[in-house]
Amino acid sequence: MLNIKKLSFSIGGSILFNETSVNIPTGQKVGIVGRNGTGKTSLFKLIRNEWTVDSGIIEIPRHFRIGGVEQEAPATNDSLIETVMQQDKERTSLLAEAESATDPNRIAEIQIRLVDIDAYSAEARASIILSGLGFNNKAQLRPCHEFSGGWRMRVALGGVLFSNPDILLLDEPTNYLDLEGAVWLENFLAKYKNTILVISHDRELLNRAVTGILHLTDKKLNYYSGNYDQFDKERRMKLEQLQSLKRKQDNQRAHIQSFVDRFKAKASKAKQAQSRMKQLEKMEPIIALSENAVASFQFNTSKELPPPLVSIDKGSVGYDGVPVLKNLNLRLDQDDRIALLGANGEGKSTLSKLIADRIKLIDGKQDKSNKLKVGFFAQHQLDELVRGETPVQHMMRLKPSEPIHQLRARLGSAGIDTNVANTKVELLSGGQKARLLMVIAAIEDPHILILDEPTNHLDIESREALVLALNQFQGAVILVSHDSHLVEMVADRLWLVQDGEVNSFHGDMDEYKKMLLSSKSVKIEKKANKVSLLDSDNTQNKETTTKPNNIKKKRNSSLVKRLISDCEKNILQLEKDKARIEKKMNDPDFYSGKNISIAKKASKRHAELIIEIEIEEKSWSSLLIELEDN
């Protein structure tokens, strides 16, 4: 249980929490929401005891382990899978102790505890998590230092998920995931058995993976049961009720004040006026919740061009003469709203750069108007802003012929006021930088707007403002985003970038998510079983996702029966092996003298047999269900 009592905390003279209390029961999955700057990340630092509260108490059970992602995984020579497994400190410590222990009783205790914490399935569980986060089997064996910071953030996330803390703290975990990784994480968190606190502006994650919402507003913590949509509905009703009550009270106060003003000087009415004044003093004012509207976005477009804006025939595109995408036969018109789907590395950014004219075709034909203007927002451009320059200076450099008042007006239309416009970019928040880059992307009033992960660093209200602006935009939109709510609200066509090709995906986002979480086929091989069956609630290997037109074929009954028979034989043999080892382990002399080394190996094998039996039984159960469906 996480119990916060009368918490007060301020930083830099700014009050973030003012005598606020909330109780989070053990096992709850809570999404933390609130405008940028309200103190969500500060709350995590207080829970971790990194910062000290001004007053109040944060109570956490003493034995609870708290886990979170502070920074990217270190750039070491350890493989990704080793890096993740090292995050289970108890397992690492026990395995090290098992190598040197000589006391028979302690050896037995270590092996029992290793079984209790599923130590011998660690590699399979770590592989499952890394696969879900976008690392294939080959990548998992590569050293950590070979990956960029963004990918090492995924490894760090994998490590904390693997360590299975009692309280899991996640701060915007989908910001460094693609859509496929975000879908997998939603599924993982929804079935996580311990307490979760997740700061997120990802509406889909907050709808699918949490059981409650903790709202930070007006320096208070307010808890709502249910997902984000339920919270949003309840909050809006609460706002409407408060506003209605406030209007009634304001009218009542005005009426009473009018009486006092009229009659306080008259002797015959003085007592009544005095009574009304006391009534006003006792009347507690109703404070309406502060819900200031976020700044809007505005995207203008140039004069309409004849269709198509872009057409590609039998095109191939890539780098240094090596194709990434082949057989491109695409057409883009001014009213198109297209979302690009596909895992990282499949070619979404390559296709975006081709349409933005940042790279050229290797082969094939591309037609487009000479007057075509393309606006391009890419996530990595955050690092390309010029340090020492203000937003106004960026705009003046990019649009030197435009009067400065018009440039300021462009910035103002995206919520960048005068103070922010005159602040050096390195001092801006992530959300302010994103808004600046959005203005820069649309500075030429483009016919096509390409947005690659535009919602990182934007709060939910700003994301809704972006949805509205994109739907009002008169040009074409190409969207790459892990925010499936944004995709659903903006895109009317889906292109799947996969296996070197780009094809239309004819389902909706729900169907695409189901495809990602479904397996291509049931594999009987032991390694595949270990990855896919050890923890079926939390697992899915992205390498086994199907193409949209690949539907799993039913196997004939005779094959399924033979596989069932094989499983039964395997279970019988494994049970015999297990019984034989248990008979030895029951002998008091087994853990003494010259038998110690043998005893260690036997204890480890006993734990492995328990896992292998579980795998075979799950496989056997799945096959029985398949047989019944035939």
Does residue 201 lie within any of the structural domains? Answer: no
Task: Say if residue 327 is in the same domain as residue 396.
Answer: yes
For the segment 390-400, the average pLDDT, to the nearest whole number, is 92
* pLDDT one-digit tens code per residue, 456-511: 888 888 888 899 999 999 999 999 998 988 999 999 999 999 999 999 998 888 88
Domain count, the chain: 3
pLDDT of residue 268: 59
pLDDT of residue 169: 95
Does residue 159 lie within any of the structural domains? Answer: no
Percent of the chain exceeding pLDDT 70 equals 86
Q: Which segment, 71-75, 427-431, 494-498, 506-510, is predicted with the most confidence on average? A: 494-498
Does residue 126 lie within any of the structural domains? Answer: no
Does residue 156 lie within any of the structural domains? Answer: no
Structural tokens at position 33:
């929401």
pLDDT at 454 over 80: yes
Between residues 525 and 597, the one the model is more confident about: 597
Task: Say if residue 488 is in the same domain as residue 579.
Answer: no
Q: How confident is the model at residue 591 (pLDDT cuts 50, 70, 90)?
A: low
Residue 553: phi, psi to the nearest 5?
Answer: -90, 140
Task: Say if residue 245 is in the same domain as residue 325.
Answer: no
Rounded-to-integer distance, Cα 611 and Cα 526, Å = 12
Does residue 574 lie within any of the structural domains? Answer: yes
Range of the domain at 458: 310-516
pLDDT of residue 564: 86
For residue 487, which of 514, 504, 512 has the smallest C-alpha distance?
Answer: 512
Task: Say if residue 372 is in the same domain as residue 334.
Answer: yes
Task: Say if residue 444 is in the same domain as residue 354.
Answer: yes
User: Could you tell me which residues come within 8 angstroms of residue 510 by beta carbon, excluding any fewer than 6 positions away?
Assistant: none
Task: Say if residue 407 is in the same domain as residue 534.
Answer: no
pLDDT of residue 364: 94
Between residues 526 and 97, the one the model is more confident about: 97
Residue with tokens 């207080």: 46
Domain final residue, candidates 516, 541, 569: 516
Q: How confident is the model at residue 630 (pLDDT cuts 50, 70, 90)?
A: low
Task: Say if residue 471 is in the same domain as residue 544.
Answer: no
Burial classification of residue 64, based on how many CB atoms lie within 10 Å of its CB (0-12 exposed, 13-18 middle, 19 or more buried): middle
Does residue 99 lie within any of the structural domains? Answer: no
Task: Say if residue 354 is in the same domain as residue 424.
Answer: yes
- Type of residue numbered 27: G
Residue 128: phi, psi to the nearest 5?
Answer: -60, -45
pLDDT of residue 514: 82
* pLDDT one-digit tens code per residue, 242-301: 676 667 777 777 877 777 777 766 665 666 767 777 666 766 665 554 455 677 888 888
Task: Say if residue 332 is in the same domain as residue 457.
Answer: yes
User: Could you tell me which residues come within 8 angstroms of residue 509 by beta carbon, excluding any fewer than 6 positions away?
Assistant: 484, 487, 488, 494
Task: Say if residue 538 is in the same domain as residue 434.
Answer: no
Structural tokens at position 410:
């462009």
Rounded-to-integer distance, Cα 195 and Cα 68, Å = 12
Number of continuous H segments (helices) and E segments (strands) in the chain: 22, 18
Task: Say if residue 378 is in the same domain as residue 497.
Answer: yes
User: Is 156 in contact with 73 (CB distance < 8 Å)?
Assistant: yes
Burial classification of residue 440, based on how many CB atoms lie within 10 Å of its CB (0-12 exposed, 13-18 middle, 19 or more buried): buried
Rounded-to-integer distance, Cα 527 and Cα 353, Å = 39
What 8-state DSSP symbol labels residue 212? E
* pTM of this prediction exceeds 0.85: no
Task: Say if residue 382 is in the same domain as residue 496.
Answer: yes
Burial classification of residue 29, based on how many CB atoms lie within 10 Å of its CB (0-12 exposed, 13-18 middle, 19 or more buried): buried
pLDDT of residue 376: 92
pLDDT at 211 over 50: yes
Report CA dihedral (172, 175, 176, 181) to the nearest 10 degrees. Answer: 90
Does residue 397 lie within any of the structural domains? Answer: yes
What does pLDDT average to over the chain?
Answer: 83
pLDDT of residue 529: 47
Rounded-to-integer distance, Cα 512 and Cα 506, Å = 9
Domain final residue, candidates 485, 516, 547: 516
Does residue 359 lie within any of the structural domains? Answer: yes
User: Could you tell me which residues come within 8 angstroms of residue 197 by beta carbon, excluding any fewer than 6 positions away?
Assistant: 2, 24, 30, 32, 44, 47, 167, 168, 169, 170, 214
